[in-house]
Amino acid sequence: MLTGRPVISATGLFTPPESITNEELVASFNAYVDRHNAAHPEAEPLAYSSVEFIEKASGIKARHVMSKAPILDPDTMCPRLPERPNDELSVMAEIGVAAARQALERAGRKPEDVDAVLCAASNMQRAYPAMAIEIQQALGIEGFGFDMNVACSSATFGIQTAADYVRAGNAKSVLVVSPEITSGHLNWRDRDSHFIFGDVATAVLVEDAAIAPAQHWDILGTRLKTVFSNNIRNNFGFLNRAAPEGEGTPDKLFVQEGRKVFKEVVPMVAQMILEEADRLGIDPAALRRLWLHQANAGMNRLISHKVLGHEASEDESPTVLDTYGNTSSAGSIIAFHQHSDDLALGDTGLICSFGAGYSAGTVFVRKVA
Catalytic residues, by residue number, are: 152
Options 71, 152, 163, 253; binder of ligand COA; rule CB under 6 A:
152
Nearer to ligand COA, 30 or 137 (CB): 30
- Is 296 a binding residue for ligand COA by CB under 6 A? The answer is yes
- Is 303 a binding residue for ligand COA by CB under 6 A? The answer is no
Nearer to ligand COA, 48 or 309 (CB): 48
Phi, psi dihedral angles at 164 (to 5 degrees): -65, -35
b/e string for 106-120 if b means 16 or more Cβ within 10 A? bbebebeebbbbbbb
Options 141, 232, 335, 350; binder of ligand COA; rule CB under 6 A:
232
CB of 134 to ligand COA, least distance (A): 26
Cross-strand partners of 225: 360
CA-based torsion, 280, 283, 285, 291: positive or negative: negative
Nearer to ligand COA, 144 or 262 (CB): 262
Nearer to ligand COA, 146 or 262 (CB): 262
Options 33, 150, 295, 350; binder of ligand COA; rule CB under 6 A:
295
CA atoms within 13 A on the CB side of 339: 20
* Contact letters for ligand COA, residues 40-69 (x by CB under 6 A): ---------xx--xx--xx-----------
Residues 89 and 143: their CA atoms lie apart, in Å, by 20
Options 184, 349, 355, 361; binder of ligand COA; rule CB under 6 A:
355
* Contact letters for ligand COA, residues 324-343 (x by CB under 6 A): --x-----------------
Cross-strand partners of 62: 21
- Is 262 a binding residue for ligand COA by CB under 6 A? The answer is yes
Q: What is the DSSP string of 171-208?
A: -SEEEEEEEEEGGGTS-TT-TTTTTSB-EEEEEEEEEE
CB of 325 to ligand COA, least distance (A): 11
Instruction: Name the burial class of residue 344, with classes exposed (0-12), middle (13-18) and buried (19+) by CB atoms within 10 angstroms of its CB.
Output: exposed
- Is 150 a binding residue for ligand COA by CB under 6 A? The answer is no
Nearer to ligand COA, 259 or 341 (CB): 259
- Is 130 a binding residue for ligand COA by CB under 6 A? The answer is no
Of 243, 240, 261, the C-alpha closest to 253 is: 243
Residues 34 and 289: their CA atoms lie apart, in Å, by 45
Nearer to ligand COA, 107 or 155 (CB): 155
Options 200, 224, 242, 261; binder of ligand COA; rule CB under 6 A:
261
Please, what is the Cα angle at 166 between 215 and 11, to 5 degrees?
A: 40
Region of 4-12, 222-230, 236-244, 258-266 interacting with ligand COA (CB under 6 A): 258-266
Nearer to ligand COA, 145 or 361 (CB): 361
Q: What is the DSSP string of 79-103?
A: -------TTS--HHHHHHHHHHHHH
Interface of this chain with ligand COA, residues 169 to 198, rule: CB under 6 A: 191-192
Residues 217 and 224: their CA atoms lie apart, in Å, by 19
- Residue 66 CA to its chain's centroid (Å): 15
Name the residue number minimizing CB distance to ligand COA.
258
- Residue 221 CA to its chain's centroid (Å): 20
CB of 218 to ligand COA, least distance (A): 28
CB of 236 to ligand COA, least distance (A): 15
| Residues 196/326, Cβ–Cβ less than 8 Å | yes
| Residues 30/195, Cβ–Cβ less than 8 Å | no
Options 44, 83, 247, 259; binder of ligand COA; rule CB under 6 A:
259
Q: Which residues bind ligand COA (CB under 6 A)?
A: 49-50, 53-54, 57-58, 152, 191-192, 232, 256, 258-259, 261-262, 295-296, 299, 326, 355
